[in-house]
Structure 1
Amino acid sequence: MGVNEVGRALPQTVLREATDRRLLDETIRQGRTTRAELADVTGYSRPTVSEAVRRLVEAGLLDATGLKETGRRGRVGTFYSLGAQAGWVLGLELDQSGVHARTADLSGATLSDLRRRPTPPGDVSALVESVRAAVQAIPAGAGPLRAVGVSIANPVDPVTHQTVPLAGTPFPEGLLSPTSMIGDLVKAPVLVDNDVNLAALAEHRAGRATGEASFAYVYVGAGLGVGLYIGDQLIRGAHGLAGEIGYLPGASAPTIAADLAAGGLGRTDAPSNDVAAALMLLDRGDEAALRVLAEAVARAINSVAAVVDPALVLLGGPVGTHPALLPRVREAISFPGPTRIEYGGLGTDAALHGAVQVAVEHARAAAVAV
């Protein structure tokens, strides 16, 4: 019988869900395995594993996929793998660069990928139309759609899960609830979070921050933001506003975002950085643009490091990952701590990776729930 931390017996349904989830996760991790191997690696008894595998097969989450010779006369084992009809998830990324949709199976393996061009700044109707078109165009996976993860370039309240309107947001058209955009098109939970938080989560799960208990992910693109992991916990803040570094005081302007605009890197038709122009200037080796960017990013990192002292800072986003930026940011850092500064490992798709990962984790948990 299972016992929790204060010595009370756990309900059987909780134990059953935990067992089924552990065995589903382990089977997916191995790709193909037997009940005996699952018992060995998890420490569960063989009868417990056999009963859990039976439930997972009946639910369509696992399939028997062949026989394994055991080396003992007359004895064979059965291989099990993720079920062909186990279901799939959808990840969406909504930001100034357009709409990016990706489907994946419950292992997180990509099934299909679709991009749509950016819509006019501030045009809510055009964004909604583009998001709906992407959801309707991307091919479905096998089995049920189990969850939709949405990355959006605005802060998201951790309690209400609604986008938070801020003055001067670089993505004002993205303030509408994604659930209201596509809720009638998908029959699955819609899980919404801020793009930088999801990028940090993805780096923590499968990127360069794997194994790091405390790190910061600094995003530089149309907007500025930082995702914070402290003590293995993603920090969102009371209102979802933790990490809005674009609003930190600038060197010669009211905010860091305004510093970049004053340095010629802002768009004239929207309250955001001009990503295309910034990348062009960096590609050309424009010293003035590089200095403005490096000093702004270093100023943000100095502030973050002085408050939370992360072991690692990762640069991400379409501008943050430019190869010219990292060396200059390192030179401009004044914080005396031994913080390492590196590029993120998942490139400019980090936020979409995070949206898919959140959907996969939710889908697996919900699939084994009694």
Structure 2
Amino acid sequence: MTVNEGPRALPQTVLRAATDRRLLDETIRQGRTTRAELADVTGYSRPTVSEAVRRLVEGGLLDATGLKETGRRGRIGTFYELGARAGWVLALELDQSGVRARAADLAGRTLDEHRRPAGAPGDVAALVANVRAAVGAFPDGPGPLRAVGISIANPVHPVTHEVVPLAGTPFPEGLISPREMIGDLVPAPILVDNDVNLAALAEHRAGRAAGEASFAYVYVGAGLGVGLSIGDQLIRGAHGLAGEIGYLPGAAAPTLAGDLAAGGLGRSDAPSNDVAAALELLDRADESALRVLAAAVARAIVSVAAVADPALVLLGGPVGTHPALLPRVRAAISFPGPTRVEHGTLGTEAALHGALHLALDHALAAAVAV
């Protein structure tokens, strides 16, 4: 006879790592705190907090930075802050506009930034050189480099984390593996994801989608894409191709991307939208450009709404964030259900913010697991 033993208890190492992570996150959130304050906020016992703080200090993740008078006879608390040598992370964004890189400490505070211009469309060697130059421009940070998060303007396989090659990609030079580009330069894990997914992640963590259980992030720039979050989970698909809305059927062309090209918004030297030209047309409220863009974006939003019915749709990307586009898209949407469409709050840096979140999540989890 089989006896149901019930759920097994989590291993002590897992519980200890979870406790340490909670206390580290809370210290980062507060900036400066004591063990007593940590116990009050988290509900952990004072002995548990004291032991966890001891581990975090020994690991260099927290520093004791001064004394706090408690107001009670003989009682003096010790303040703790993020360790001065706790480590740092690096975020990179690779797309048609060039390479952007940002270094931050484990609290997410920016330490330094570098940008490299774009090479010619399809020039793989120029992209690799620019990425390596951007990474090499950072001096040693405060402690070990713990993770590198990379946003790339191509789909990324959710299992292998390799870039997925697609015919007609707007970023053909970005089909090379980022690990091959810089694996010899950084002594840290290299984490890669699609730029639209990372922009959606950032808007969910610290932007307009914060607190939304379901939303869609529609990117309009050199390419078209959707980041879809359902039940607080990004939907990547079996092959990393979920959200590749540029390949949806178009109204006047085989694809939605083809509609934009046929409407005069495509580049002549690359299979992508001409961002500079689109922005110029929007700046002067060109009626033809507005009509073409609004129709394409509205078609994408209706497709997503009909399948997933998100509570919120955000427009992002260098073209999607233009103020002239939003009211035209709202007017062009024909869907029976309520569809709330807004601009994202993180602007054109949403994907870089997302890459930073990706790196920080990994760095903090790994730091308390050792």
- Corresponding residue for residue 53 of structure 1: 53
- Corresponding residue for residue 170 of structure 1: 170
Once the two structures are TM-superposed, the CA of residue 211 in structure 1 deviates from its matched residue by 0.4
- Corresponding residue for residue 208 of structure 2: 208
Distance 1:173 1:100 in 2: 16
Q: Could you say what secondary structure the match of 1:319 adopts?
A: helix
Distance 1:312 1:69 in 2: 48
- Corresponding residue for residue 114 of structure 1: 114
- Corresponding residue for residue 29 of structure 1: 29
Q: Give 1:104-253 correspondences, 5 Å limit.
A: 104-253=104-253
Q: Could you say what secondary structure the match of 2:263 adopts?
A: helix
- Corresponding residue for residue 333 of structure 1: 333
Instruction: Deviation per CA, 1:206-238: give whole Å up to 9, x if none.
Output: 110000010000000000000000011100000
Distance 2:280 2:231 in 1: 38
Q: Could you say what secondary structure the match of 1:328 adopts?
A: helix
Tell whether the 8 Å contact from 1:199 to 1:350 is kept in structure 2 after alignment.
yes
Does residue 295 (structure 1) correspond to residue 301 (structure 2)? The answer is: no
Instruction: Deviation per CA, 1:97-136: give whole Å up to 9, x if none.
Output: 0000000111111111111111110000110000000000
Letter in 1 for 2:350: A
Q: Could you say what secondary structure the match of 1:146 adopts?
A: strand
Once the two structures are TM-superposed, the CA of residue 182 in structure 1 deviates from its matched residue by 0.1
- Corresponding residue for residue 355 of structure 1: 355
Q: Could you say what secondary structure the match of 2:205 adopts?
A: helix
Tell whether the 8 Å contact from 1:225 to 1:245 is kept in structure 2 after alignment.
yes
Once the two structures are TM-superposed, the CA of residue 39 in structure 1 deviates from its matched residue by 0.6
Distance 2:7 2:276 in 1: 59
- Corresponding residue for residue 81 of structure 1: 81
Letter in 1 for 2:305: A
Distance 2:59 2:256 in 1: 52
Instruction: Name segments (4+ residues, structure 1) moved above 4 Å.
Output: none
Q: Could you say what secondary structure the match of 2:319 adopts?
A: coil
Distance 2:291 2:115 in 1: 32
Once the two structures are TM-superposed, the CA of residue 9 in structure 1 deviates from its matched residue by 1.7
Q: Which runs of 5+ in 2 are unaligned?
A: none
Once the two structures are TM-superposed, the CA of residue 305 in structure 1 deviates from its matched residue by 0.3
Letter in 2 for 1:183: G
Instruction: Deviation per CA, 1:297-350: give whole Å up to 9, x if none.
Output: 000000000000000000000000001000000000001211210000100000
Letter in 2 for 1:369: A
Tell whether the 8 Å contact from 1:260 to 1:266 is kept in structure 2 after alignment.
yes
Distance 1:160 1:232 in 2: 22
Distance 2:139 2:274 in 1: 33
Q: Could you say what secondary structure the match of 1:318 adopts?
A: helix
Q: Could you say what secondary structure the match of 2:318 adopts?
A: coil
Q: CA RMSD in A?
A: 0.9
Once the two structures are TM-superposed, the CA of residue 7 in structure 1 deviates from its matched residue by 3.0
Tell whether the 8 Å contact from 1:101 to 1:138 is kept in structure 2 after alignment.
no
Q: Could you say what secondary structure the match of 1:351 adopts?
A: helix
TM-score normalised per structure 1 = 0.98
Distance 2:138 2:249 in 1: 42
Q: Could you say what secondary structure the match of 2:320 adopts?
A: coil
Q: Could you say what secondary structure the match of 1:299 adopts?
A: helix
Distance 2:109 2:95 in 1: 23
Instruction: Deviation per CA, 1:55-103: give whole Å up to 9, x if none.
Output: 0001100011111111101211111110010000000000000000000
- Corresponding residue for residue 40 of structure 2: 40
Q: Could you say what secondary structure the match of 2:94 adopts?
A: strand
Once the two structures are TM-superposed, the CA of residue 6 in structure 1 deviates from its matched residue by 4.8
Call closer, same or farther: CA 1:6–1:308 in 2, change over 3 Å.
farther
Once the two structures are TM-superposed, the CA of residue 285 in structure 1 deviates from its matched residue by 1.2
Tell whether the 8 Å contact from 1:321 to 1:344 is kept in structure 2 after alignment.
yes
- Corresponding residue for residue 369 of structure 2: 369
Letter in 2 for 1:253: A
Does residue 283 (structure 1) correspond to residue 274 (structure 2)? The answer is: no
Q: Could you say what secondary structure the match of 1:60 adopts?
A: coil
Distance 2:91 2:280 in 1: 30
Q: Which runs of 5+ in 1 are unaligned?
A: none
- Corresponding residue for residue 273 of structure 1: 273
